A and B are shown apart, each in its own frame.
Chain A
Amino acid sequence: MFLEQLINGVTLGSIYAIVALGYTLVFGVLDIINMAHGEIFMFGAFVGMLLVSKAGVPLPVAFLGAIAVTGAMGFLLERAALRPLRSRPGASNLASLISTIGVSILLENAAHRIFGAGNHPFETPFAEIRFPVGPVNVYLVQVLILLISLLLMAGLALWLSRTRGGKALRATAEDLTTAGLLGVDTDRMITVTVVIASAMGGVAGVLIGMAFNYINNQIGLSMGLKGLAIIIFGGMGSVYGAMAGGLILGLSETFVVAYGSSGYRDAIAFVIIIGVLLVRPQGLFGQAAPGTGH
Chain B
Amino acid sequence: MKVRLQALAVLSSALFALVFLGAEKPRPRVEPIKARIGVISIITGQGAGYGEAITNGIRLARDEVNARGEVYIDLKIEDSSGKQEQALSAAQKLIHSEQVVAIIGPTLSNEMKVVGPEANASGVPIMGTSTTAKGITQIGKYVFRNALPESQAIPASIGMAVKKYNLRQVALLYGNDDVFTKSGFDTMKEVSENRKLRILTVQEFQKGQADYKAQLTKIASLRPDAVFCSALYEEGAVILSQARKMGIKVPFVGGNGFNSPKVIEIARDAADGLIVATPWFVDRNDPKVKAFVAKYEKAYGKKPDQFAAQAYDAFHIVANALKAAGAADRDRLRDALAATKDFDGVLGKFSFDAERDVVMEPNVLIVQGGKFRVFQ
Which residues of A are in contact with B by a Cβ distance under 8 Å?
1, 4-5, 8-9, 11-12, 118-121, 137, 208, 211-214, 216, 218-219, 222-223, 253-254, 257-258, 261-263, 265-266
Contacts and interface: CB of A to CB of B under 8 A. Distances in A.
Contacts of B213: 8, 11-12, 254
Contacts of A11: 213
Contacts of B221: 1, 4
A263 B211 contact: no
A214 B243 CA distance: 13
B214 A262 contact: yes
B206 A119 contact: no
A5 B246 CA distance: 12
Leading 5 A-B pairs by shortest Cβ distance:
A257-B214, A263-B204, A1-B221, A254-B214, A262-B204
B113 interface: no
A263 B218 contact: no
B215 interface: yes
Contacts of A219: 210
A253 B218 contact: no
Given A9-B214, A219-B210, 18 more contacts: A5-B214, A5-B217, A5-B218, A8-B211, A8-B214, A12-B211, A119-B237, A119-B238, A121-B266, A121-B268, A211-B211, A213-B238, A213-B241, A222-B209, A258-B214, A262-B215, A263-B204, A265-B206
Interface string B239-251: 0011001010000
B217 A4 contact: yes
A222 B208 CA distance: 8
Nearest to A219: B210
Nearest to A142: B213
A266 B206 CA distance: 10
B205 interface: yes
Q: Is the interface of A mostly helix, strand, loop or mixed?
A: helix
Contact of A214 (B214, B241, B247, B262): B241
A212 B242 contact: yes
B160 to A, nearest CB: 28
B305 interface: no
Nearest to A139: B245
Contacts of A254: 213-214
Given A4-B217, A121-B266, A208 B176 contact: no
Nearest to A209: B210
A253 to B, nearest CB: 7
B203 A262 contact: yes
Contacts of B355: none
A258 B218 contact: yes
A214 B210 contact: yes
Give chain B's interface residue range (CB within 8 Å of chain A).
20 to 34
B52 interface: no
A258 to B, nearest CB: 6
Contacts of B205: 262
Interface of B: 176, 203-206, 208-211, 213-215, 217-218, 221, 234, 237-238, 241-242, 245, 247, 262, 266, 268
Contact of A118 (B217, B242, B266, B268): B266
A218 B214 contact: no
A178 B204 CA distance: 53
A214 B266 contact: yes
A18 to B, nearest CB: 14
Nearest to A11: B213
A118 B214 contact: no
Nearest to A130: B245
Contacts of A1: 217-218, 221
B217 A258 contact: yes
A219 B211 CA distance: 11
Nearest to A255: B214
Nearest to B210: A212
A11 B221 CA distance: 19
Contacts of A118: 234, 262, 266
Nearest to B242: A213
B238 A8 contact: no
A1 B201 CA distance: 15
Given A8-B213, A262-B203, A262-B205, A257 B218 contact: yes
A263 B206 CA distance: 8
B259 to A, nearest CB: 16
A253 B214 contact: yes
Contacts of B210: 208, 212, 214, 219, 222-223
A140 B213 CA distance: 16
Contact of B217 (A8, A212, A214): A8
Nearest to A257: B214
Given A1-B221, A119-B238, A266-B206, A213 B214 contact: no
A232 B213 CA distance: 26
A14 B205 CA distance: 21
A72 B363 CA distance: 52
Contacts of A211: 211
B11 to A, nearest CB: 56
Contacts of A218: 208
A208 B218 CA distance: 22
A150 B44 CA distance: 52
A218 B234 CA distance: 12
Contacts of A137: 247
A257 B221 CA distance: 13
